[in-house]
Structure 1
Amino acid sequence: MFDSHAFFKQRFAAHLKETSRYLRYIFNGHIAVAMLFFISAIAFYYQKWLLQIPENFPAAWVIGIVFGLIASYSPVRTLLKEPDLVFLIPAEHKMKAYFRNALFYSYMIQLYLVLLAAAALGPLYTTVFSEREGSTYLVTIALLLLFKLANLIANWWMLRVREPALRRLDLIVRIGLNIAVFSFIIASDMVLAGITTILFVIIFLYDFQIANRRTGILWDILVEKDRNRMQAFYRLANMFTDVPHLKSRVKKRYLLVQMANRVPFFKKHTYDYLYRITFIRSGDYLGMYVRLLVIGGIIIYFIPPIWLKVVFAILFIYLNSFQMMALYQHHRTIMWIDLYPIVQKIRQQSLLKLLLQLSLLQTGLFSIVFLIIGEYLGAIAAFIGGSLFAVLFIQGYVKQKLA
């Protein structure tokens, strides 16, 4: 007899084994050191900023927006796979315990977001609202846990709806209400907090009504949602180690491709063209490069000491160069690459050249940020230090790793 509870335990154990194997690579070595330095520096200057926080700083809205987004982000992890579309549909009426366990797992796995937000925003709350008792903040955290559970259940109900536009509209409305509820609670405007809470309950009951009118489970949507989340995790893990389960996404990006087409049409430039096209059109590398570039620029702009700005500039140059190393193994499953009549040395040199160009571009953009804020000495230090680091790191560490 089919036991869905036992089946979930088996599926969960396999999922835990799969993710923990890659997490060891993600939180190991260089990235762990960089994250430790980054978090320590941010915590130090965050505490320093709190000592001179402006009186008109909108702390209620900042905390409300963060709490509202965390409550709204409540995806359901079902751990379903594509073969389940064939083998589990006949047992749908026996899957109640499985999905109950999936909801419980989805809720528990997301509690770290609540803990991180509560710990990060706690000093801001106690600084701005110093007259309030500490228990008030704890009550707010308890309400966040309750709203997150309600949003998780609402998301589960809306997964019975096939129309993506309706699901998207429901999510947008709930995000707005979640942000409003917590912003009013933090601001001690209990009348408006009560009104927005009632509106949220109405939407919650409306989702329940919609789910009851839809019979059956949309297995294809559940499988697609879970597959997309696992692919996102694999793309992150692929930056640190080889992931055979990763399915590459390709995007058009016509304008950027035109830039890659300027590579000379010669045998020795074969991998120059391949790596540039891969960097531009793959769904992984360009987005990662731009995100680290933007985050690094924002930190350089706001962190006060000039020497720490330069350190962060070099840190983000290192992070981007380290992440882009995965380009070398991107086409490892395509056998045509092995048929190219090109020696391995040219392939390695092509990647080293691209990484150096990307690092120098990032160095130049960071130097421009220094110029914008009027730190001319910092711009010179960042440009010289970043360029020197890029050359040494790529021609030293990266070259040795590729060999």
Structure 2
Amino acid sequence: MKRIFHERRQAFLASCLKYSRYVLNDHFVLVLLVLLGFLSLQYRQLLENFPQPVWPVYLLLLAVSILLFFAGSAATYLEEPDQHFLLTKEGEILELIQQAIRRQFVLWGLVQSLGQLLFLPLYLKLGLPVWGFGLYLLVLTAGKYSLIQAKWSSYTKNGIFQWGLAIDRERKRQQSILQFFALFTRVKGITSSVKRRSYLDGLLKMVAKRSEKTWDYLYLRAFLRSGDFWGLTIRLFTLSLVALLTIDLAWLAVGLVLLFDYLLLFQLLALYGVYDYQYLNYLYPIEQTRRTKGFLRVLRGILYSVLGIQSILALFLLEEKMYLGILILGGFILNQFYLAIKAKKLID
């Protein structure tokens, strides 16, 4: 059993390492360095000009503590067939899960401690002594251990191991990691979910019910009901708005917004193949060229809608209107020219 799960762990870590080179490319590393320098400068200014009243600092530390406290989950590497083929080895499986839980406590306990140490100057500014910070860190560590044990106890009910629950949690853990890598490149092994959002059905009525608009309707419907594309768009769009609202440096805020728009465009290109599994679409009495045109119309509609809201917000937030022009021009180049180039390569 140890060898089987060790091979699974090594295979998953190898795939993550393979995808990480697409994440840590030259451009993204450069953006991260700039962002790190900006955050360091803001942190220093915060310490030198401590706000009065101090309740925003308390809220910041509370939010950080909550995020670090609940972060992390045990990597069990259980798979769907295990509940049938490894049922006779349940005792060994439970021992391996206990080892995974101990690794989780060590890893995420260390992450929590290091994360809190980054904010030690703020705690000291608030008047907390070093021994008080150490005691607070000890309480958080003990609380995290109790939380991890509580999660482990939920795997068993009336002395019976809940295979389905443990497998589902491991699947969600791996999917969350793969979905992060999917922001930067194509990733194998991601499962998608479909959910009808009735409150968005009105948008489908905007597409004329004509044969030349068939693919427009299908792609818009897939976008609105897909758990991946819709959720990804909302997350990246929200991050772009947060960048505009929270970053004072106009050039950095606009640069991050354009970066998020680029990531959104890159990921939405996968929408083109969402119906490839359905071979009946090749029987439609519609030229395949209309599929490409419908795909580009839907994608540009989404991207220009996002750009429009960002531009309206930037109009009120950016003092230097030159950067508003850069945002609009950069978005236009991405949506009009870069999208056409990438779509042609994808379809060819």
Q: Per-residue deviation at 1:220?
A: 1.4
| TM-score for both structures, normalised by structure 2 | 0.83
Taking every aligned residue pair, what percent have the same amino acid on both sides? 25
CA contact (8 A) 2:109 2:144 kept: no
1:159 to 136, 155, 169: 155
1:87 to 85, 88, 92: 85
Which residue type is aligned with residue 310 of structure 2?
Answer: F
Partner of 2:54: 57
Q: Per-residue deviation at 1:379?
A: 4.4
Superposition CA RMSD, Å? 3.2
Partner of 2:14: 17
Q: Distance in 1 between matches of 2:324 and 2:103?
A: 48
Partner of 2:145: 149
Q: Per-residue deviation at 1:346?
A: 3.5
**Distance 1:401-1:91 versus aligned 2 partners, 3 A rule:** closer
Q: Distance in 2 between matches of 1:390 and 1:32?
A: 24
Matched positions, count: 346
Partner of 1:98: 96
CA contact (8 A) 1:74 1:151 kept: no
| TM-score for both structures, normalised by structure 1 | 0.73
Q: Per-residue deviation at 1:385?
A: 4.3
Structure 2 residue 336 is the aligned partner of structure 1 residue 387: no
Deviations 1:118-141 (A, max 9, x none): 365345335x247844x7645544
Q: Per-residue deviation at 1:57?
A: 2.1
1:228 to 143, 163, 172: 172
**Distance 1:217-1:399 versus aligned 2 partners, 3 A rule:** same
**Distance 1:302-1:260 versus aligned 2 partners, 3 A rule:** same
2:115 to 99, 117, 131: 117
**Distance 1:220-1:400 versus aligned 2 partners, 3 A rule:** closer
Give 1:372-383 correspondences, 5 Å limit.
372-373=316-317, 375=319, 377=321, 379-383=324-328
Q: Per-residue deviation at 1:321?
A: 1.7
Q: Distance in 2 between matches of 1:16 and 1:140?
A: 33
Structure 2 residue 228 is the aligned partner of structure 1 residue 284: yes
**Distance 1:97-1:309 versus aligned 2 partners, 3 A rule:** closer
**Distance 1:285-1:124 versus aligned 2 partners, 3 A rule:** farther
Q: Distance in 2 between matches of 1:56 and 1:248?
A: 46
**SS across alignment from 1:79:** coil
**Distance 1:323-1:34 versus aligned 2 partners, 3 A rule:** farther
**Distance 1:91-1:401 versus aligned 2 partners, 3 A rule:** closer
**Distance 1:325-1:32 versus aligned 2 partners, 3 A rule:** farther
Structure 2 residue 31 is the aligned partner of structure 1 residue 41: no
Deviations 1:349-391 (A, max 9, x none): 3333333222222222112223444748254553344334433
Q: Distance in 1 between matches of 2:225 and 2:279?
A: 20
Q: Per-residue deviation at 1:46?
A: 3.9
Partner of 1:252: 196
Which residue type is aligned with residue 216 of structure 1?
Answer: I
Q: Distance in 1 between matches of 2:18 and 2:187?
A: 11
**Distance 1:272-1:323 versus aligned 2 partners, 3 A rule:** same
CA contact (8 A) 1:251 1:283 kept: yes
**SS across alignment from 1:110:** helix
**SS across alignment from 1:95:** helix
Which residue type is aligned with residue 235 of structure 2?
Answer: R
Q: Which runs of 5+ in 1 are unaligned?
A: 162-213
Partner of 1:326: 270
Partner of 1:183: none
